[in-house]
Amino acid sequence: MSRLWEKGLPLDERVLRYTAGEDHQLDARLVDYDVRGSIAHAEMLAEQSLLSKDDCTAICNGLQKLAEDFAAGEWQISLEDEDVHTALETRLTDMIGDAGGRVHLGRSRNDQVLTALRLYLLDVTSEVSESVAGLDEALRELKQRQGDIDLPGSTHMQHAMPSSVTLWAGGFQEAFADATDGLTSARRRLSKNPLGSAAGYGTPGLPIDRDATTEKLGFSETQSPVTAVQLSRGKGESGLLFELALLMQDLGRLASDLLLFYTQEFRYIELAADVTTGSSIMPQKRNPDVLELVRGATATAQACLQECMMIAAKLPSGFQRDLQRMKAPVFRSIDLTIESVDIMAHLISKLEFLPQNIELGEELYSTEEAYELVRSEGIPFREAYGRIAARYSK
């Protein structure tokens, strides 16, 4: 095994395990994106006469075959590979010979991994948005089924004013629409092409065309100057994680409402039996574990954001290996968010409100009564407020 940085010197096995960390496992989701970046880079090198057309064809075909074989489970990234980049280039060279060793001209693992990661994160924003759309659809269908059911609206955990299933669900729909807008905004920092910045200082004397790979890969712009690339690491990731944390916060509040509605004291809703669990000791229990776990997941999403931001905080300019540790919290937040949004959409699609258990006392209409006094008698609102308030003074 020859890693991309290999110089023929020995490497302590413990150092390999520690420095490679989880990358050989985490990088599985980056294979297709590293292939895309490498193909675009090879094509650009050929266009700049830095790579022969035959070598370019062999590289591109070889990389596509490796991606297909990986998807088919025919090979995996091992600890000895260290990361996706070594895994692909080593296998490519074994497959096509010396031409495989020419693909790395004009780039470093630093810009290579960031290119693959940004392409992946751009796709993730779309994937999360699709999940949110599914949740919005579940809430929309709930409004169609039971939107006309009245609910007591609360402030300070006390009954306050009349509400309804339509108003309650609609508020969360707007929150999730805002989350989708936030995900779109997060794309701005992610859609900058870092490829060609190499280790952070470009490729002096090598006539590469960074704008060409920007166009090939669908980035919005070429990140410039090259020294800005490493300074930007963590910003795009944190921007996305911030939007995921906000989304999970709204999801947690939705779960909290439903947990309250599901208590015996409220009994506003019924959950389908197949989305609840049981107790190992109490035979009568059906537990809303999904809702509790979603509520708890908000803490994980916020922790992932903090971890990512704190890794990059106070680093000097240029690449630092600390940045490798961002992958785990970024991937963890993404996976947890998508899983949580999808399970909530599933749960809500089976949820039923129980109007026979929902009571709205006359006090909920006090504000409406005060407004009616203002309209009918022309008195100031404060006077109308006082009249109604006197009814409840003790």
Of 72, 102, 132, the one marking the end of a domain is 102
On whether both 285 and 378 belong to a single domain, the answer is no
On whether both 176 and 264 belong to a single domain, the answer is yes
Please report whether residue 258 resides in a domain.
Answer: yes
CA distance 47 to 50: 7
CA distance 177 to 250: 11
Please report whether residue 2 resides in a domain.
Answer: no
Report whether pLDDT(5) > 50.
no
pLDDT-derived band of residue 1, with 50, 70 and 90 as boundaries?
A: very low
On whether both 371 and 333 belong to a single domain, the answer is no
Residue 310 maps to which CATH number? 1.20.200.10
| H helices present in the chain, as ranges | 13-20, 23-26, 31-47, 53-71, 84-96, 109-146, 165-190, 210-217, 227-232, 235-262, 289-312, 327-349, 366-377, 381-392
On whether both 263 and 342 belong to a single domain, the answer is yes
Provide, rounded to the nearest whole percent, the portion of the chain with pLDDT above 90: 88
On whether both 156 and 250 belong to a single domain, the answer is yes
Q: Tens digits of per-residue pLDDT, 14-44?
A: 776 776 567 788 899 999 999 999 999 999 9
Q: Is 279 a catalytic residue?
A: yes
What is the total residue count of the chain?
394
Q: Are 290 and 258 in contact (CB under 8 A)?
A: no
How high is the pLDDT of residue 20? 59
On whether both 332 and 304 belong to a single domain, the answer is yes
Could you tell me the residue range of the domain that residue 382 belongs to?
363-392
Please report whether residue 299 resides in a domain.
Answer: yes
Instruction: Supply the pTM of this predicted model.
Output: 0.93
Question: In this predicted structure, which of 7-11, 18-22, 66-70, 332-336 has the lowest mean pLDDT?
Answer: 7-11
Please report whether residue 375 resides in a domain.
Answer: yes
The pLDDT of 265-289, averaged and rounded, is 93
On whether both 48 and 125 belong to a single domain, the answer is no
Question: Which of 156, 280, 376, 393 is flagged as catalytic?
Answer: 156
Q: Tens digits of per-residue pLDDT, 285-329?
A: 899 999 999 999 999 999 999 999 999 999 999 998 889 899 999
Q: Tens digits of per-residue pLDDT, 354-393?
A: 999 999 999 999 999 999 999 999 999 999 999 999 988 8
Please report whether residue 220 resides in a domain.
Answer: yes
Structure tokens at 98: 């010396």
Please report whether residue 128 resides in a domain.
Answer: yes
Question: Which of 2, 126, 220, 279 is flagged as catalytic?
Answer: 279
Task: Please identify which residue in the block is written with the tokens 């969360």.
Answer: 172
Please report whether residue 1 resides in a domain.
Answer: no
Q: How many domains does the chain have?
A: 3
Residue 38 maps to which CATH number? 1.10.275.10
Mean pLDDT of the chain: 94
On whether both 92 and 200 belong to a single domain, the answer is no
Report whether pLDDT(6) > 60.
no
Question: Residue 155's beta-bridge partner residues?
Answer: 158
On whether both 298 and 341 belong to a single domain, the answer is yes
On whether both 329 and 185 belong to a single domain, the answer is yes
On whether both 22 and 145 belong to a single domain, the answer is no
On whether both 305 and 351 belong to a single domain, the answer is yes
